[in-house]
Structure 1
Amino acid sequence: MDAFYASIEQRDNPELRGKPVAVGSAAKRGVVAAASYEARAFGVRSAMPSATALRKCPELLFVPPRFDVYRAVSNEIREIFHAYTPLVEPLSLDEGYLDVTENLRGIPTASGTAAEIRARILEQTGLTASAGVSYNKFLAKLASDQKKPNGQFVVTPNQGPGFVEGLPVERFHGVGPVTAEKMRALGIHIGTDLKRQTLAFLEEHFGKSGAWCYGIARGEDNRAVVANRERKSSGSETTFSDDLFAATDIEAGICAMADDVWAWCEKTATYGHTVTVKVKYADFRLITRSRTVSMPVTTQAKLRELSVALVRTVYPVTVGIRLVGVSVSKLASVDQTIPQLELELLYEE
């Protein structure tokens, strides 16, 4: 989807159309969750501090996020996807992979299928979508950014290796900023540079990722589209307007995040064996503390208790805390839980 959150806000509020819009908060420590294309023209990007965004674009209009609306629209779009193929692998609320090799409409080409899907999304939601069409996930992902917004780009099997060769490595899906910086230090700037390296060289410098880098430099990616991918964790975090030092304030924040996570657990009837607390200090140092129990955490009180106990391991606080988060992982649905004696603190990190 094109600037999904911001586009929904512009769709629902005509006064925002054609104007630079950011979904998020303009507060001192606010962050841009999404930016309209009008805002992006000024250099405003998602995950950018709001203060920085306002310096780049003083006319920027902030609107609070409405995740319930975004989820509802996302579900509507996924229903459209499933009218064409059962092989849908969501990546987020606004993005997903579709394998349309044998689509339900019998459309002979993937590009024709993508065009029809995009037209139906526009008709039903009033929103535009862009599509990348290719013979594997890696290339389809790259292609999806080529003609944004409201565009479509095809990379055929004959074009794949050459398409990759000219791209900067930071464009490669799966190559993050740290890996890209390491590649540049090794003289690897574009796909051609990466393709020149041997598998042994890449494994030496990038470990298990070496084989992946070797393949994508040649346009190769054998991953299948996996429908109904199992979720591995759920969490919530918040950034405070002022740094926290007092234990009562910190623990209140932790309990609020634990309650957010618990709301998801109750809604989905899914519970975690592992509770993790994240703490980010004013100097941006980040630490986590985790505890695993033998039985899933199936009460709100227990989730709060474990979360507070974990955050207390970071006391005393000598540097202010700017962010806390709570997450649960090692998930199990309610019908997978079997009552038994609880053995706590199997490990801690």
Structure 2
Amino acid sequence: MPAVRKIIHIDMDAFYASAELYRRPDLRGSPVVVAWDGVRSVICAASYEARRFGLHSAMSVAAAKRLCPNAVYIPPDFAYYRAISQQVHQIFARYTDKIEPLSLDEAYLDLTDYSGSLPYARDIARAIRADIFAETGLTASAGIAPNKFLAKIASDWRKPNGQFVIAPEQILTFLADLPVSKIPGVGKITAQKMHRMGWKTAGDLAKTERAVLVHHFGVWGHRLYDLVRGEDNREVKSQRIRQQISNEITLPYDEPLHSIGRHLPELAAAVAKQMQHKQMTAACVTLKLKSSDFHIHTRSQTFSAPLGDAPSLLAAGQQLLQRQPESSAAYRLIGLGVSHLLPHNVQLPLW
């Protein structure tokens, strides 16, 4: 029989907000929000004190201020967060080389072949969390399970600063009462649809034929059929390739096409900085505009030589902006992104 996999999902607790509180201990106990304080800004992260007022990531700052007028707003410092994330990933590497980062604040680890002195995956997770706290001052939560699907759910079970194990023999019992809203990929609208169909838990869905789920949810119904039975064979991919790097600005006021280009130098510099950090170049540049009526317009160009610095990205962005037809439309967002990424020293073929 193949060995039962030991997958750990590590999730930092309110990462951006906790990182800010670490260097601003005077704000501990206060509702802290990481966001630009603008008319159209959205929350990047909220401390647990702020969450008690109903604040959460992706909520508009305007709505947050109505719910919690006394919240403290701190602009995000992504260079600082990336530095902490690198520390955390160095800790992961002490225990395994099978690490799949999902973002700055979470990752999957495969400990199936772990050969250290700790006997159980729960002990390894506890040691990792202790190392993170000792070296960064921040807490993390962990989920331990035989696959990625269950590990991710488990990491949210004892937040903050906790961990939860779903052993192989516990899977079906655990899923029987799991609310459908806890299944990754099931949003508010999908959960409401499931409730109308009489499906309140993963256990309810597990009693449903595959064809019925596919009928209601399309191709995703096949995956849903497997997940509610605790089946997920995805590997922890330690060499995840980032497919795109981008940056965008939501404007405080709508701007016409002829003036919105003034934001391109800032966007080009931000994207170039990320590319340099990743030691990547790119062959394709994309300009994104969102009009005041929320229509999204994109223009892309693939180049014969890879681009990697701010001036070349700026020139490409300006070219793409010139291709946008003149109109009376006003725009609320502008973004610049790159794709077809290559390692820094790789050249595109001439033919």
Same fold? TM cut 0.5: yes
CA distance in 2, matches of 1:157, 1:83: 26
Q: 2:13 aligns to what SS in structure 1? A: coil
CA distance in 2, matches of 1:310, 1:330: 17
Tell me the CA shift for residue 186 of structure 1.
4.7
Whether 1:254 and 2:236 are equivalent positions in the alignment is: no
Q: 2:307 aligns to what SS in structure 1? A: coil
Match of 2:136 among 117, 125, 134: 125
Deviates more, 1:234-243 or 1:116-125: 116-125
Distance change >3 Å, CA 51–CA 155, structure 1 → 2: same
Match of 1:229 among 237, 240, 244: 240
What amino acid is the match of 1:304? L
Aligned to 1:347: none
Tell me the CA shift for residue 182 of structure 1.
5.0
Deviates more, 1:125-134 or 1:155-164: 155-164
Deviates more, 1:258-267 or 1:45-54: 258-267
1:243-291 deviations in whole A, cap 9, x for unaligned?
11141x2112234212321222334331222222222222323233323
Cα pair 1:234 1:327 within 8 Å, conserved: yes
1:57-114 deviations in whole A, cap 9, x for unaligned?
1110011212121111111111111111111111111111111122252311111111
Tell me the CA shift for residue 240 of structure 1.
0.9
Cα pair 1:137 1:223 within 8 Å, conserved: yes
Match of 1:171 among 182, 194, 219: 182
Aligned to 1:241: 252
Aligned to 2:38: 27
Tell me the CA shift for residue 189 of structure 1.
3.7
Aligned to 1:279: 289
Cα pair 2:287 2:335 within 8 Å, conserved: yes
CA distance in 1, matches of 2:298, 2:189: 20
The number of aligned residues is: 340
CA distance in 2, matches of 1:328, 1:335: 17
Q: 1:114 aligns to what SS in structure 2? A: helix
What amino acid is the match of 2:164? F
Whether 1:88 and 2:99 are equivalent positions in the alignment is: yes
Aligned to 2:65: 54
Q: Identity over aligned residues, as a percent?
A: 43
TM-score, normalised via structure 1 length: 0.90
Aligned to 2:52: 41
Q: Which runs of 5+ in 1 are unaligned?
A: 342-349
Q: Which structure carries more relative contact order (alpha carbon 8 Å, separation 6+)?
A: 2
Cα pair 2:178 2:202 within 8 Å, conserved: yes
Cα pair 1:130 1:152 within 8 Å, conserved: yes
Whether 1:138 and 2:159 are equivalent positions in the alignment is: no
Aligned to 1:325: 335
Matches within 5 A, 1:158-197: 158-177=169-188, 179-180=190-191, 182-184=193-195, 186-197=197-208
Deviates more, 1:77-86 or 1:165-174: 165-174
Q: Which runs of 5+ in 2 are unaligned?
A: 1-11
Distance change >3 Å, CA 280–CA 188, structure 1 → 2: farther
Deviates more, 1:119-128 or 1:97-106: 97-106
User: Root-mean-square deviation (CA), in Å?
Assistant: 2.1
TM-score, normalised via structure 2 length: 0.90
